[in-house]
Structures are given as structure tokens and as C-alpha cells.
């Protein structure tokens, strides 16, 4: 089965993590983000994926190639300019000479284990033109709110609803960005234009073959901000979302790669990449990812944090609730906490205390004692 994944967005809200790497391939625990989506889709019978890209996806290609490693055929389609969510689909279909059978379309920024097989089954049973995967949320304001009648037919679609539109609704189901579509939907999208699927196509399909498939109990998260990136990481480590990482960690909730040297202590759940070393008296975990080749000095403490490849953490340094991109150097005794995000190659001198969600852009050099909050 074919699937079109939209990956046209720039991921600005995830900067500085996306300053050097596009959002689809930023590392999440131990693999590029999009690999989670591809592994999940493969488990539901998808073997041919079209990535709809907004700009030349060199780094995405470098990370994912032709998909053969994942057992999927991967094709890249690059728009001449952003076409919007429906325009991008139409452009990809035109470039490929059409899509003939029932296919999937996905937003490229969700970490999920929604049962797509059940959604496909429902789609076939109802004879729908389009079936939207739905997940329950407390606050639908940042999403597409979907109202269904008891037969699962969609009776209303409200993209980014205003508070006044929520009156009288007791349970909010939103579009999860997981769609089963018939090729006939393509004919509704004009070629060569910017068109939003949420604002133009779904409203036109209400009462006309648009259905919703409720995925209660599934895991679903848009990973587009540092807070949600960290939460997604923790959920993978805890096994709250079904992924290959959970299988890798096993019952001990710990994955130490080959050649890891541990003189300190690792508290699960934790993942430590190849060639990393943890000094005497250092404390790693719980809820920690160390990438490959990370050095943690004696007596340092790392908790609820992501520390990517090649980072050097000095003796006695403290890292809590933070994201540290590849190649960062943190001096002895420095403190990084409170949602701080350090971009690639940042250098944090001794005596710095970084917190309160501070974002430090790639390559920045913070001299000793420069920041203390
Ligand atoms: N190729 C391409 N071209 N991709 C695009 C374009 C475009 O012009 N515009 C957006 N995308 C991609 C983004 O990269 C993302 O993967 C997906 O389309 C959705 O865009 P977002 O900008 O992330 O939308 P959103 O999160 O505000 O809302 C959408 O997702 C919600 C679920 O997370 C909507 O589909 C909502 O209805 C939905 O609830
Ligand atoms: Mg999104």
C-alpha cells in the first residue's frame, strides 16, 4: 500500500534542534524521527512511501536514503513552492502519474501507534471516500476538531476552533493527521495551486463520504516543540508508545550499546549509545538518552534529559530536563536544567547556570560564568 507523508514544514518551533537538521530527521532517542513513522506504517502493510517535501531534502535523503534498510520503497517529491496540505498531495500525485488505489496520507510530525489496520477496515466497511483517524484531547484549539454522528460519518470539521465553537461539545476528537483516502479525493483538488485539505477539502466532504475512525487508547503526540519532543522521548523510554526502541530496551528498560563504559550508575529507563563513557560516581537517569560517544565526567548528574552524539559533560556538572544537541561541551560544574535547549556545538563554560527554557543557538560559546539563571 502507498502512503504520502507531508514533510514540508520548517519546524521553526523546534529550533535550535532544527537549525542544522530538518524536523523529519532530528534524532529521537536513537533514530531519526521519521523512522518511527515508517516502522509504524510498515507494520500496517505500507511498502511504498512518498515524502512530500517543501524544499530540497538533501539531509532527509542522507538519513533515510531509498528506504531499503527499512524494507520500504521511499520516493521524494519536491514542490516548486509550498502548495498547502491538499496542494502538496495533488502535486505529488501528478508527479507520480496518479495514485490508483486506496492510499494513506499522513502529517509528518506525529509520533503514534494508532491502529491503522482498524482504520482501513472501517474505511472499507463504510465505503467512505476519506476516513480521518481521530484521537481524543482535552484542548482541541491547536488542531482540527471533528464531530461525528453515530454511524461514524463526519458532521462537522473545525480547523483550529475558537472557544465559542466548542459550546455544547462534551468530548473532543481531533484529526490525528492520519487519513485513508480514495483516489477520487484527488479530483477535488485543483492542480497548480495552494490548497488546504483542512480548510477546503474536508468541509466540502462533510456529508459526502467523510468518516472518522476513533482511536481511543492509542498513543498520539505532535512532537513539534521542545517540551513535546522531551515528552515523546520519555514516552518512548517508558514504553507508553509502541516502538522498536521499547523492544530494544526489553524488560529492564535499559539499552546500553556495545563498548559503553560505566563506572557510575545508570538508572532505568535509559538508553546509552555506542562508545559513551560514564565516569566514577556519575548518575545517569532515570529518563535519559545519551547518544554515541558521549563522555560524562566523574560525579556528574544527568536526569530526564537528551544528550546527543559526542557531547562532553564535565565533572560534577548537572543536567536536568534539558536537550543537548550533538558536539556540545559542558564544563566542570556547569548546570543546565529547566527545559534548556542547547544547539549543536555550543560550549558552556564553568559556572554557568542555564535554565528557564533558554535556547542557545548552534556554535555559541558561553564563557565561564556568563549566564546564571
Ligand atoms: N509538502 C508540504 N507542503 N507539506 C506541508 C505544507 C506544504 O505546503 N504545509 C504543511 N505541511 C506539512 C507539515 O510539515 C506537517 O507535517 C503537516 O503538513 C501538517 O502541517 P502543520 O503545520 O504541522 O499543521 P498543524 O499541526 O497546525 O495542524 C494539522 O495537524 C493536526 C494534527 O497534528 C492539521 O491537519 C490538523 O487538522 C490536525 O489536527
Ligand atoms: Mg503539526
Smallest-distance ligand from the CA of 176: 1
Give span(s): CATH 2.160.10.10, the chain.
226-366
pLDDT value at residue 13: 86
Statement: residue 373 has pLDDT above 80: no
End-to-end CA distance of the chain: 52
Smallest-distance ligand from the CA of 7: 1
Helix (H) or strand (E) holding 61: helix 58-64
What architecture (CATH level 2) is domain 2-218? Answer: Alpha-Beta Complex (3.90)
What architecture (CATH level 2) is domain 226-366? Answer: 3 Solenoid (2.160)
Q: How many whole angstroms separate alpha carbon 251 and alpha carbon 138?
A: 32
CA of 126 to the centre of ligand 2 (A): 28
Statement: residue 77 has pLDDT above 80: yes
Statement: residue 290 has pLDDT above 90: yes
Which of the four pLDDT bands, split at 50, 70 and 90, describes residue 368?
A: very high
pLDDT value at residue 247: 87
pLDDT value at residue 322: 97
Mean pLDDT of 260-278: 96
pLDDT value at residue 149: 95
Residue 100 CB partners (closer than 8 Å, separation 6+): 183
Whether 316 and 334 have beta carbons less than 8 Å apart is answered as no
pLDDT value at residue 122: 98
Mutation test residue for ligand 1: of 5, 8, 158, the one with most atoms within 8 Å of CB: 8
CA of 49 to the centre of ligand 1 (A): 17
Winning range, highest mean pLDDT, from 17-21, 140-144, 222-226 = 140-144
pLDDT value at residue 224: 87
Q: How many whole angstroms separate alpha carbon 283 and alpha carbon 296?
A: 9
pLDDT value at residue 21: 84
Statement: residue 355 has pLDDT above 80: yes
The residues facing 214 across adjacent strands are 134
Statement: residue 11 has pLDDT above 80: no
Is there a cis peptide before residue 64, judged by omega within 30 degrees of 0?
A: no
Q: How many whole angstroms separate alpha carbon 14 and alpha carbon 32?
A: 15
Give span(s): CATH 3.90.550.10, the chain.
2-218
CA of 20 to the centre of ligand 2 (A): 20
Statement: residue 56 has pLDDT above 80: no
Statement: residue 148 has pLDDT above 80: yes
List pLDDT tens digits, range 93-128.
Answer: 999 998 879 999 999 999 999 999 999 999 999 999
Strands 312-313 and 283-284: unpaired
Q: Which residues have any ligand 1 atom within 6 Å of their CB? A: 6-9, 52-54, 79, 82-85, 88, 107-110, 143-144, 159, 174-175, 177, 198, 222
Measured over the CA atoms of residue 227, residue 6, residue 100 and residue 173, the dihedral's sign is positive
Mutation test residue for ligand 1: of 109, 133, 139, 219, the one with most atoms within 8 Å of CB: 109
The per-type count for the chain, helices as H runs and strands as E runs, is 7, 33
CA of 142 to the centre of ligand 2 (A): 9
Statement: residue 153 has pLDDT above 80: yes
Which of the four pLDDT bands, split at 50, 70 and 90, describes residue 251?
A: confident
The residues facing 4 across adjacent strands are 50, 105
Mean pLDDT of 295-305: 98
List pLDDT tens digits, range 178-211.
Answer: 999 999 999 999 999 999 999 999 999 999 999 9
Amino acid at each position: 500500500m502507498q502512503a504520502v507523508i507531508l514533510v514540508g514544514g520548517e519546524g521553526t518551533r523546534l529550533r535550535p534542534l532544527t537549525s542544522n537538521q530538518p524536523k523529519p530527521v532530528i534524532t529521537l532517542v536513537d533514530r531519526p524521527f521519521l523512522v518511527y513513522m515508517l516502522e509504524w506504517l510498515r507494520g500496517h502493510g505500507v511498502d511504498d512511501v512518498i515524502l512530500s517535501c517543501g524544499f530540497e531534502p538533501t539531509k532527509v535523503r542522507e538519513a533515510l536514503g531509498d528506504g531499503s534498510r527499512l524494507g520500504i520503497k521511499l520516493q521524494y517529491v519536491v514542490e516548486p513552492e509550498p502548495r498547502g496540505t491538499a496542494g502538496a498531495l495533488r502535486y505529488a500525485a501528478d508527479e507520480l502519474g496518479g495514485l490508483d488505489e486506496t492510499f494513506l496520507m499522513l502529517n509528518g510530525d506525529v509520533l503514534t501507534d494508532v491502529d491503522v489496520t482498524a482504520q482501513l477496515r472501517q474505511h472499507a466497511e463504510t465505503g467512505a471516500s476519506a476516513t480521518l483517524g481521530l484521537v481524543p484531547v482535552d484542548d482541541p484549539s491547536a488542531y482540527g476538531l471533528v464531530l461525528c454522528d453515530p454511524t461514524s460519518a463526519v458532521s462537522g470539521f473545525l480547523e483550529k476552533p475558537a472557544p465559542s465553537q466548542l459550546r455544547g461539545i462534551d468530548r473532543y476528537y481531533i484529526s490525528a493527521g492520519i487519513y485513508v483516502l480514495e483516489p477520487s479525493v484527488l479530483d477535488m483538488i485543483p492542480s497548480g495551486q495552494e490548497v488546504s485539505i483542512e480548510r477546503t477539502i474536508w468541509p466540502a466532504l462533510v456529508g459526502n463520504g467523510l468518516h472518522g475512525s476513533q482511536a481511543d487508547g492509542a498513543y498520539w503526540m505532535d512532537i513539534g516543540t521542545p517540551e513535546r519532543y522531551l515528552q515523546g522521548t520519555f514516552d518512548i523510554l517508558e514504553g507508553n508508545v509502541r516502538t522498536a526502541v521499547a523492544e530494544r530496551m526489553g524488560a529492564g528498560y535499559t539499552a546500553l550499546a556495545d563498548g559503553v563504559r560505566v563506572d557510575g550508575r545508570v538508572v532505568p529507563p535509559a538508553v546509552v549509545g555506542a562508545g559513551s563513557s560514564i565516569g566514577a560516581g556519575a548518575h545517569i537517569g532515570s529518563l535519559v538518552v545519551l547518544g554515541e560517544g558521549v563522555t560524562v565526567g566523574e560525579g556528574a548528574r544527568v536526569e530526564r534529559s537528551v544528550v546527543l552524539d559526542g557531547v562532553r559533560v564535565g565533572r560534577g556538572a548537572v543536567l536536568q530536563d534539558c536537550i543537548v544537541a550533538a558536539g556540545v561541551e559542558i564544563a566542570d560544574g556547569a548546570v543546565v536544567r529547566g527545559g534548556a535547549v542547547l544547539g549543536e556545538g555550543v560550549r558552556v563554560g564553568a559556572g554557568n547556570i542555564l535554565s528557564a527554557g533558554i535556547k542557545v543557538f548552534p556554535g555559541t560559546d558561553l564563557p565561564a560564568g556568563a549566564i546564571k539563571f
